[in-house]
Structures are given as C-alpha cells and as structure tokens.
Structure 1
Amino acid sequence: MAGVDLRIGTLNLASGRDEVGRSGDAASLTAALADVDADVLAVQEVDVAQPRSGGVDQAAAVAAGLGATDWRFAAAVAGTPSPFRSWTPVDPPVLRGSWETLTGPHYGIALVSRLPVRHWSVLALGAGRARLPLQAPDPRTGKTRWWWFPDEPRLAIAAELDGCTVIATHLSFAPHTALRQLGRLRRWAATLPGPVLLAGDLNLVGPLPARVFGGQRLVSEPTYPAAAPRVQFDHVLGPATVHAARPVVRRLAIGDHRLATVTVSTS
C-alpha cells in the first residue's frame, strides 16, 4: 500500500449545540465547519432528524461544510436519547451514506472524507452498565432535576483509504468500559489494511489511550470543555511508523469539545 499525507481530525458535535445550548440549522452547521482543514473527520454525538436539533441531518451538514466526497453515519440509537427512557439500539449497526434516508430520528457517529474510500465497515462495541448523573428537565413537571443517564451503545466506523485506514469512534463515559472497548478496537485494527489511525472522543485522558491502542499520541493538548479545556478526551492515534505535523486544537462555534486536527504522513 502506497504512502499518503492527510489531515485528520475529530470533533464531538454535541448535537450541533452552541455555547448557550442551542442547535443551529443546517446552514449554520455547515458554515461553522467551512474553514476546517481536514481531509478526514471523525464526528461524535450526531443527530439525524431529531426534534431537539430541528430535524437537521447533521451528518450531511458536516459533510457539506467540509466539502467531503464520501461519508457514512452509524446510528447507535433509534429515537431520541433521553434520561427517562431506555435506549433503543440499532442492532446490527448499519452504515448509512448520502444516498440513503433514515426513517425517524437517530443519533450516533459519522466519518466524513474528502478522499476516495475503498471500503467502509462498522463494529458494534456494546454499552457499559454504568450510569452518568446529568441534569435535565422532568417531562412531567418541566423542572430541571438530576437523572442517572444510561450508557449508549458504542460504535466504530472504518474507512479504508489509499495508503491507510481511519477508524472513528466514541467510547463509553465509564473508563473501565472505554478501556475494554479500546482493546477491541486494537484487535479490529490488526485485521484492517495498515497503517491504521484512530480518531474520536475516547473518554480517556492523556497518554493512556495510545498505550492501550498500541500507538502514538498524535495530538497532545486539552480538548474539554470547549470554553476552558482541562483534559484531553479527543484523540488521534497512530502507529510509530507514521509522522505527525501541525497538530491544532481549536474552538468552533458548535460542540462542547474542541476540534483536534493533525497532518499525518504514512510514507
């Protein structure tokens, strides 16, 4: 496989919400990404036809903003994620492209590419049993209260390019579950055409993900929360054989994490 130079990145979209929690329309979402320099972008917390985000197909809007020639959306959940309703997982997971329409609201991850993709695949990573305490309005009273939010089913998307494979993912908020899922991704990566790059919100901090995945950390800067980052949840990882240049972490007008990008040479 020939070598390649590409700009790769990851962004937790947070359903397209801005700094005050509002989700914009398709045009504003596309505009927010118009100056992002990324050949391949892993995107997490993506809404498709969700009432809470105006019914926007956010995967398509992100692809339009990047000028991406190919993209896939993998739905982790059918319906609207809610702290007072159990998940309805999409099982088995399905990759949806630009020419396909989903029936009803969905939520998941996406991988968009300006470069030609030889082959797409998806891997289900399951969900942990832990619950995350979050504040949300009570549908009966309208008052904000604490809820124990269940872990969502987690997925990974792989795009086999000319010269490398890129995996996009969003791992569990429970560290022990995220580590188990990362181990599964390492084994999956070993079956894909290399070198394999991993990008996404791993919900694990610092150098730990690179050690578990068996690679190097290509971006090393805090990414969360977006307003004043203290920890790095958002990573781009690759084997020791690749060279990284121009790592950048920057705040966009959307998302509650910062965008992380880096140029990777596999030659």
Structure 2
Amino acid sequence: MRLATFNILHGRSTADDVVDVDRFARAVADLDADVLALQEVDRNQRRSGRADLARVAAEAMGAVDVRFAPTLDRWGASGRSQYGVALLSRFPVLEWRTLPLPRRPWWRPLPRGAGGRRLRWGWDEPRTAVVAVVATPQGRLTVVATHLSFLDGWGEHQLERLARGLEGAPRPLVLLGDLNLRSETPAIVTGWSPLVVARSYPVAHPMLQIDHVLADGEVRPLAPGRAVDTGLSDHRALVVDVELDGPGGA
C-alpha cells in the first residue's frame, strides 16, 4: 500500500501564486496514495475559493473515509471558515480520534504599519493530531497525521507529548506530517524508524527534510521513499510504498 504526506499550502502554487482547485485535485490523484495526510487544509476560506479541500482530495484519490480536524475556526459573513489537517484513506477506518497538542506563547511579528509596533505577545497556532485505525488489506494499521510548531524546541516537545499519547495505540503505527523538525530529529525523539529519507523543503530546490513518515512496529518499505514535486505548495509531498510484516499484517 502507498502512504503519503503533503503540506498543501491551501492548494496554492508558488509558481503562479494561484489556488486552482482542479489542479489540486489532479496533484492528489497523481500521488495515488492509499492513505494520505494533508496539512494546511482550508474549508470555506476565501483564499482557496471557499472550497472544502479535504473533500476535494477525498474525491480525487477515491477515499472511502476522511477526517478533517480544524485547528483554526472562525465565523464571518460567509459562514464558518476553517483551517487544519486531514487524514484520508481508501480503506475503511475502524476508529477515529484527535489529540490536541500543547501551545506556547511567543512574540508574534506584526504586519508593517501596525501602530508602529513590530511584535505582539500571543499564542502559537493551535496544533492537533488525527489518529485512525485503518483496516488495510494486510491488517490493521494505526495512522497518525499532524503538523507541528515551527517554534524552536516546541516541535520536539509536541512530538514527545504525541508519542506518549500514542503509547496505548495499536501497533503497527505510522506517523505522517510536516513536523517542522529536521533530518533525524523526529526519529531520535520518538525512537521510531524513518520510512522516507528525502529533502522536502523548499519545493523548487529542497535543502531540508521537515516532512516525515515514521513507523513503530512491523512496517517495511518496499522501495526507498521519495519527495515529489506536485507543482503545488512550498513543500514536496513524501510518498512510500510499504507492507505490514508483523501481527498487524497477519
């Protein structure tokens, strides 16, 4: 089966600065993922044409189950506008849950002309993880999708909390997402095995791997994972084909 994670930048391309929902749908279809984690997903946002991007992606890949977890949620003249993460699966999901992650206050930069001030004390963007127990053809697999903080040291703290919160989850388990942590750091923090080693950011000339696919339990990659330029976003998607070897794959 194929696993993928993709920070979609609300469907925008950095090449032309345009959100084209049809182009986004084609990009998702081309990934051909059986289980897909998405970050920076819009629902009813003006910048993305009021589209429900999780639903667009689900239809494009042929998902039978999808869960969108908003981390920002506002009401306005056009109704409820949301932004968050999503997990989509071509296989039935037996159990869903979400795990909110801790936030940290910080000095946020303000736009130019904001009363002469440059910084404002406030909270980091809310973060959460979506957890699904997926009934794959090879057995049950716990899949976790998340998007961690970019603040120095805080992503590691969130990942530690997430790993503790998943201690009782069925194995094998796979974590997918934009972790905002470089190279081998997520594997060191969790003790889990990286399934993809590939630079994913920035999209045109990737210098860093901040998107990750990690496994705890008997999940084996069938070939080296890869970073894919979809023509969208400031990130490349990560894709890896795997099989289950242990009790979960019996």
TM-score, normalising length from structure 1? 0.81
Q: CA RMSD in A?
A: 2.4
In the other structure, the counterpart of 1:224 is 201
Selected match of 2:220 from 231, 239, 243: 243
**Equivalenced residues, count:** 236
Q: Distance in 2 between matches of 1:240 and 1:207?
A: 18
8 Å CA contact 1:186–1:214 kept in 2: the answer is: no
Residues 94-129 of structure 1: per-residue CA shift (max 9 Å, x gap): xxxxxxxx9511010000111111011101003222
In the other structure, the counterpart of 1:17 is 12
8 Å CA contact 2:11–2:21 kept in 1: the answer is: no
Q: Distance in 2 between matches of 1:240 and 1:123?
A: 21
Instruction: Say if 1:118 and 1:16 are closer, same or farther in 2 by CA, change over 3 A.
Output: same
User: What is the CA distance between 1:259 and its match in structure 2?
Assistant: 0.4
Amino acid at match of 2:144: I
Instruction: Say if 1:138 and 1:116 are closer, same or farther in 2 by CA, change over 3 A.
Output: farther
**Residue ranges of structure 1 left out of the alignment (5+ in a row):** 1-5, 81-101
The answer to whether the aligner puts 1:255 opposite 2:233 as a matched pair is yes
Q: Distance in 1 between matches of 2:168 and 2:126?
A: 23
Q: Distance in 1 between matches of 2:108 and 2:123?
A: 6
8 Å CA contact 2:9–2:39 kept in 1: the answer is: yes
User: What is the CA distance between 1:189 and its match in structure 2?
Assistant: 1.8
Residues 13-37 of structure 1: per-residue CA shift (max 9 Å, x gap): 1111102463424322212222112
Selected match of 1:185 from 140, 162, 174: 162
- Partner of 1:64: helix, strand, or coil? helix
Instruction: Say if 1:194 and 1:150 are closer, same or farther in 2 by CA, change over 3 A.
Output: same
Matches within 5 A, 1:86-101: none
Q: Distance in 2 between matches of 1:16 and 1:23?
A: 8
Q: Distance in 2 between matches of 1:150 and 1:201?
A: 20
- Partner of 1:164: helix, strand, or coil? strand
In the other structure, the counterpart of 2:127 is 154
In the other structure, the counterpart of 2:91 is 115
Q: Distance in 1 between matches of 2:167 and 2:53?
A: 31
**Residue ranges of structure 2 left out of the alignment (5+ in a row):** 246-250
In the other structure, the counterpart of 1:60 is 55
